Amino acid sequence: MILELMIALSVGAGLFGVGLYGALSQTNLVMILMGVELILAAALVNIVAFWRYLHPDEPAAQMFVLIVMAVMAVEMAVGFGIAIARFRVRGSVEMEEARELKG
Amino acid sequence: MTGLTVQMIFLVFFGAAAVWFGIVVFRTHSMVRSALALLFSQTAVGALFLVMQAEFLGVLQIMMMATEMSVMAIFMVMFMMDPGGLGEMDMTHQKRLSLWAGGIGLLAALMLVWLPDWGPVALSVPGAHEQAQALGRELLGRSMLVFQSAGLTILTAMVAATMVAIVPNAEQRK
């Protein structure tokens, strides 16, 4: 049974590693958001695994999952809002070109 | 074959699918394929929830991600210079640093998973009906403030995203 917990947590670790690579290596804003989505998916897998194998009687863990899902939705909404605003001004969402705030 | 062994096989299968499609997101040059790969990865995560007997969360994850990734695919096509990936454009930077960061992050997370003693593991979970009932009581009881805060945050984000995205008129530009 402990092996199932380890497998689930390892999947979370894998998603976290891939998401971190994607968020750091991509130059396009939408692709960076995809990396962040994978990192949040890793958090979701870990929370559900902890709930299932360690504290199945604790509904607060499932509530945490709903909060992370809300964070995912917020991240997407704000990210796309910024992408649209930037695309209007510059005609591109390449973050390599976003240097306006650089001192 | 016992129920637990079957659960382990499905965990490995959907876990490998989630990670593999996550890798495909950043390997393909086609942005539409990237969005679809992320959709499959998130669906596999939803299937993992179902395998771990979190039925409500599994279905919620699959439904939410199907919608979110469809929207993302549309944005991809709108915003990318080469959405089909036919031009083989490279849209990456600091690849070596990112690979190191991702690799170190993965190793650190794996060490955190495999080194500690997690203590006794629960053998059974409440049924789907009891889970939904307990979650409902949790949301409308002890965690109501947190839940309402999440709702308010989503509303604020929706308003903020709309305000950022709308075209300013001539008077506002002055």
Least trusted range by pLDDT, from A30-39, A89-98, B90-99: A89-98
State how far the Cα of B40 lies from the Cα of A15, in Å rounded to an integer: 13
Contact B131 A62 (CB under 8 A): yes
Q: What pLDDT sits at residue B84?
A: 61
* Confidence category of residue B83, pLDDT binned at 50, 70, 90: low
| pLDDT, tens digit (0-9, with 9 covering 90-100), for B138-147 | 989 988 999 9
Contacts of residue A15 in chain B, CB cutoff 8 Å?
18-19, 22, 41, 45
Q: For residue A103, is it within any domain?
A: no
* Confidence category of residue B3, pLDDT binned at 50, 70, 90: low
Contacts of residue A48 in chain B, CB cutoff 8 Å?
48-49, 52, 54, 57
Residue B90 pLDDT exceeds 80: no
* B43: contact with A, CB 8 A cutoff: no
Going from N- to C-terminal start, the domains of chain B cover 1-84, 127-167
Looking at CA atoms only, how far is residue A95 from chain B in angstroms?
Answer: 10
What is the average pLDDT across B147-169? 86
CATH number at residue A28: 1.10.287.3510
Residue B30 pLDDT exceeds 70: yes
pLDDT exceeding 90 applies to what percent of chain B? 44
Residue A72 pLDDT exceeds 70: yes
Question: Where does A1-103 have alpha helices with state H?
Answer: 2-25, 29-53, 60-90
Contact B22 A38 (CB under 8 A): yes
Quote the ipTM score: 0.91
Contact B34 A11 (CB under 8 A): no
Residue A38 pLDDT exceeds 70: yes
Q: For residue A102, is it within any domain?
A: no
* Confidence category of residue B76, pLDDT binned at 50, 70, 90: confident
* B36: contact with A, CB 8 A cutoff: no
* HEC per residue, chain B: CCHHHHHHHHHHHHHHHHHHHHHHHHHCCCHHHHHHHHHHHHHHHHHHHHHCCCHHHHHHHHHHHHHHHHHHHHHHHHHCCCCCCCCCCCCECCHHHHHHHHHHHHHHHHHHHHCCCCCCCCCCCCCHHHHHHHHHHHHCCCCHHHHHHHHHHHHHHHHHHHHHHCCCCHHHHC
Number of domains, chain A: 1
Looking at CA atoms only, how far is residue A39 from chain B in angstroms?
Answer: 10
- Could you tell me the residue range of the domain that residue A18 belongs to? 2-97
Mean pLDDT of all residues belonging to chain B: 86
